[in-house]
Amino acid sequence: MRNALLLASLAAAGSASAAGIESLRNFAEQDFLQAPLIVLPSQTPEEPILQAPLKPTPLHSSFTSGAELGRVNLAAQLDRNLSLMNRVFGARALDMGVATDAAFSKFYLTFSDAKTTVLAALGDLNRLRGSGVDARIDARTVYNFRVKANIFNPARGSTLKMSPTAGTAGPAHDMKTGAVLDAAHARAALFSANGKEFWVFYGRQVLPDASGFAEARSFLFVHEAGLSSKAWPLAEAALKPGTPSGVDLGGTRVSLTRTPDGFLIVRAAP
């Protein structure tokens, strides 16, 4: 199986993250190869989850706006991917989420309180299926994150295991990847087109040196469908304010308009 929404988006997300289901494909790869007779054909992977960045095309002046499918309040949606869940890590309750760089090639776990956000690089996502990835949250707190795959339902039935490492005092947590996906869904803006539901995430990009966040922002459009999920990144700067632009979400054409007053309007497009 091929690389696959970051922690099941982590999962989404979410920004989710589209490395999550990509990674889960990897997690179950050897088990699928060893047990081909008991795996349903519908569970086998088709193509990568994370698609190439969208290239919006300004629509001709003769374009007649289609029905409005969704309206995203950008200020309200900003960085909701940083708070997919709240758990106690060490001695503190923190919001945990995911973030990515501008190229969607480097993924990070995020841990936030009211004052600060800590970024922990995930690195090679394949490690999540083995010994896991250690994330330093503060000077006294390091947690190991790994995924125990369910080969019959890898996208939603696998388990995200969060465990304190030696020297860290704090509770361990287990969470089904389906619950992680549901948490990402709850933090996304939603619209439907051609009978498919799409999730919209909007967040700041991680700086190249991972010291914090840039002012530049990106969108991630997600269609969640188990191992057939797809995710399309789009740099906010690629959308000229006030100009309707067409994009193709896996055969579903929509028009996107970033308004001067801070909304993203999604409309049907020919």
Question: Is 13 part of a structural domain of the chain?
Answer: no
Question: Is 5 part of a structural domain of the chain?
Answer: no
Question: Is 255 part of a structural domain of the chain?
Answer: yes
State the chain's mean pLDDT as an integer. Answer: 85
Question: Is 14 part of a structural domain of the chain?
Answer: no
Question: Is 4 part of a structural domain of the chain?
Answer: no
Q: What is the DSSP string of 165-202?
A: PTT--S--EEEEHHHHHHHHHHHSEEEEETTEEEEEEE
Q: What is the pTM of this model?
A: 0.84
Q: Could you read off the pLDDT of 154-184 as tens digits, one per residue?
A: 889 999 999 999 999 999 999 999 999 999 9
Question: Is 171 part of a structural domain of the chain?
Answer: yes
Q: What is the pLDDT of residue 228?
A: 87
Residues 53, 255 contacting (CB under 8 angstroms): no
Q: Could you read off the pLDDT of 237-248 as tens digits, one per residue?
A: 999 999 999 999
Question: Is 116 part of a structural domain of the chain?
Answer: yes
Question: Is 8 part of a structural domain of the chain?
Answer: no
Domain that holds residue 233: 19-268
- 10 Å Cβ neighbour count for 172? 11
Residues 177, 11 contacting (CB under 8 angstroms): yes
Number of separate domains in the chain: 1
Q: Write the CA distances from 104 to 50, 90, 189, 218, integer angstroms.
A: 9, 29, 20, 10
Give CA–CA dist 222/15, Å, rounded: 9
